[in-house]
Amino acid sequence: MIEKNLAGRHIIVTGAGRNVGAEVAAELARRGAKVAIVDLDAKTAAESAAAINAETPDAAVPMSCDVSNSSDVDRMVAEAAVRMGGLDGLVHSVAITDRGKTVLTIDDDEWDAVLKVTLYSTLYCSRAVGRKMVETGTKGTIVSIGSTSGYVPRGNAIAYPIAKSAGLALIKTMARQLGEHGIRVNSVTPNKVGSPVGEAELRHRPITNLIGRACEPADIAKAVAFVSSEEAGFITGIDIVVDGGALVSMSID
């Protein structure tokens, strides 16, 4: 039986229409949280919320938002707090990639788009949620979904690994600045989980970790649930790598 260690919590989950974000939202709901299911596509958000509510009645409210637009993020956060009856958590799980591009081939528009959606949106969502929690005196949590691409260089992308690397610094800086308000900030980093970034369909990818199986969205969801709970009440400013040892396996012998 799943422990209801998030009972009474009100948590926004961005990118919750599918893949990791959807499973994170479902896991938080199973543990007693009320969740705002945020996606760019309103239909996708509604479908994801309906699936969660079928399993955990009245746990999810669907919302649409362009997280790369700071004004829309501010609107969404204010509305989510009202619709959920409170706000004390954020899980940010939105990214796009420039797969196939290098420093020689990427253009300005794609560079800007990847940074805006993958990095800037983390600031926009965390800032809006942080302001709301400080305003209400709420000691909550912020969790960002990272990537092992933030740790190692890639030959087939440039903007995405830069965005994820900068995201690690952003998490640590926000933890430092929000700590005095009782707000914990962390990230959870997967490797090759679910469908590839920007793709809706699952496809085979080679196993490159030490566990010998593919990372599943549930693996990430459980880690997010832990770091969002009071069981992790003394953890802030760190990245929890949930990659089956993929980063270790990249070492040069």
Give domain limits for the chain.
10-249
Rounded CA-CA distance 208/249 in Å is 7
pLDDT value at 198 more than 60: no
Closest CA to 81 of 134, 44, 21: 134
- Report the catalytic residues: 160
DSSP of 52-116, one letter per residue? Answer: HHHHSTT-EEEEE--TT-HHHHHHHHHHHHHHHT---EEEE------TT--TTT--HHHHHHHHI
* Residue 3: predicted pLDDT: 86
- The torsion defined by the Cα of 140, 144, 145 and 149, in degrees rounded to 10, comes to -150
pLDDT in tens, 41-71: 999 999 999 999 999 999 999 999 999 999 9
Closest CA to 91 of 159, 146, 158: 146
For the chain, give me the number of helices (H) and strands (E)? 8, 7
pLDDT in tens, 201-248: 555 667 889 999 989 999 999 999 999 999 999 999 999 999 999 999
* Residue 205: predicted pLDDT: 65
As a whole number, mean pLDDT of residues 79-103 equals: 97
CB 209 within 8 A of CB 244: yes
Closest CA to 205 of 253, 148, 164: 148
10-249, what's its fold?
Answer: Rossmann fold (3.40.50)
What is the 3-state composition of the chain as percent helix, strand, coil, each rounded to the nearest 5? Answer: 45, 15, 40
For the entire predicted model, the pTM comes to: 0.94
